[in-house]
Amino acid sequence: MKEYISIKDLNFSYNKEKFITALDFDIPKSTSIGLIGPSGSGKTTIIKLILGLLSPQKGSIKINKKDYTHNELGYMPQQYALYEELTVKENLEIFSNLNNVSNKSEIQKRSEDLLNLIDLSDKAKELVKNLSGGMKQRLSMAIAMINNPEILLLDEPTVGIDPVLRESFWSHFKKLNENKITIIITSHVMDDAMKCDKVIFFIEGKIVAYDTPVNLIKYTKTNNLGDAFVQIVNKGYKK
């Protein structure tokens, strides 16, 4: 598959201390890519660089070989970015307007579809402050998809949700891939990583492996992706 998101010679520093150095990798279109690594490894930094929330000191990020607008992206942060004093439905309406979706019938249809997806239709008129943590996580997911983005960036999206709903999310992710949506997901949940087309193992701002979950397990002769990650960190990886 041809490259779609292309990151070349990317360098980024925090307080003049190098954190990401000469990072290079490509992501094919219509795939699900997992960024896997411990806290502080660089996963969220990569997401923020793609979003333009951080600026690299050197290097480039291109989508389809061109510069891009952030209207093409959908983003779900680790921390909730919700209006607690408004209802679930009102949150979806506000974020629709912020993403330049102004047609009322279109907003209503998208909101209903997304509420069905995240199983919150019965909470449409509930104030967000009264929702559980898992429900807020589900609402954040819906907001990330409200503008029908071409690229979906999800930072720890399945934290705090039950296994049944996680399967529902992944079923939808695969449908999005089929509709030419590219998904980049960070996660500490290896079950999520196993569902990705490919995973990137990050340690201290560097890629230590980039391959399919099955290939990484085969390469390390382990039984699961968690063990494969530990072995590759300790012994390295050569494709």
Q: Are strands 182-187 and 32-36 parallel, antiparallel or unpaired?
A: parallel
Is it the case that residue 239 has pLDDT exceeding 80?
Answer: no
Q: Are strands 151-155 and 182-187 parallel, antiparallel or unpaired?
A: parallel
Bigger pLDDT: 239 or 163? 163
Instruction: Look at residue 131 in the predicted model and tell me its pLDDT.
Output: 93
- Cα–Cα distances (Å) from 59 to 7, 11, 208, 237, in that order, read 8, 6, 19, 25
3-79+151-235 is classed in which CATH architecture?
3-Layer(aba) Sandwich (3.40)
Q: What confidence tier does 194 reach under pLDDT thresholds 50, 70, 90?
A: very high
Instruction: Look at residue 119 in the predicted model and tell me its pLDDT.
Output: 82
Are the C-beta atoms of 186 and 43 separated by less than 8 Å? yes
> How do residues 9-41 score in pLDDT, each as one tens digit?
999 998 877 788 889 999 999 999 999 988 888
Please state, in angstroms and rounded to a whole number, the distance separating the CA atoms of residues 137 and 182: 21
Find the DSSP H helices in 118-212.
133-144, 163-178, 190-195
> How do residues 157-185 score in pLDDT, each as one tens digit?
887 778 887 888 888 888 888 888 899 99
The first and second tokens of residue 231, run together, are 């072995």
Residue 46 backbone phi and psi in degrees, to 5: -60, -45
Q: Are strands 151-155 and 17-28 parallel, antiparallel or unpaired?
A: unpaired
Instruction: Look at residue 154 in the predicted model and tell me its pLDDT.
Output: 92
Q: Which DSSP category does 56 fall into?
A: -
Q: What confidence tier does 2 reach under pLDDT thresholds 50, 70, 90?
A: low
> How do residues 55-114 score in pLDDT, each as one tens digit?
999 999 998 888 776 668 899 988 888 999 999 999 999 998 888 777 888 888 889 988
Instruction: Look at residue 216 in the predicted model and tell me its pLDDT.
Output: 96
101 pairs with which residues across the strands?
none
In this prediction, residues 201-205 reach a mean pLDDT of 88
Is it the case that residue 189 has pLDDT exceeding 60?
Answer: yes
Is it the case that residue 1 has pLDDT exceeding 60?
Answer: no
Instruction: Look at residue 26 in the predicted model and tell me its pLDDT.
Output: 93
Instruction: Look at residue 19 in the predicted model and tell me its pLDDT.
Output: 86
3-state secondary structure of 187: strand
Using alpha carbons only, give the angle 130, 53, 67 rounded to the nearest 5 degrees. 125
In this prediction, residues 136-148 reach a mean pLDDT of 87
Bigger pLDDT: 118 or 43? 43
Instruction: Look at residue 3 in the predicted model and tell me its pLDDT.
Output: 65
In this prediction, residues 122-143 reach a mean pLDDT of 90
Instruction: Look at residue 11 in the predicted model and tell me its pLDDT.
Output: 92
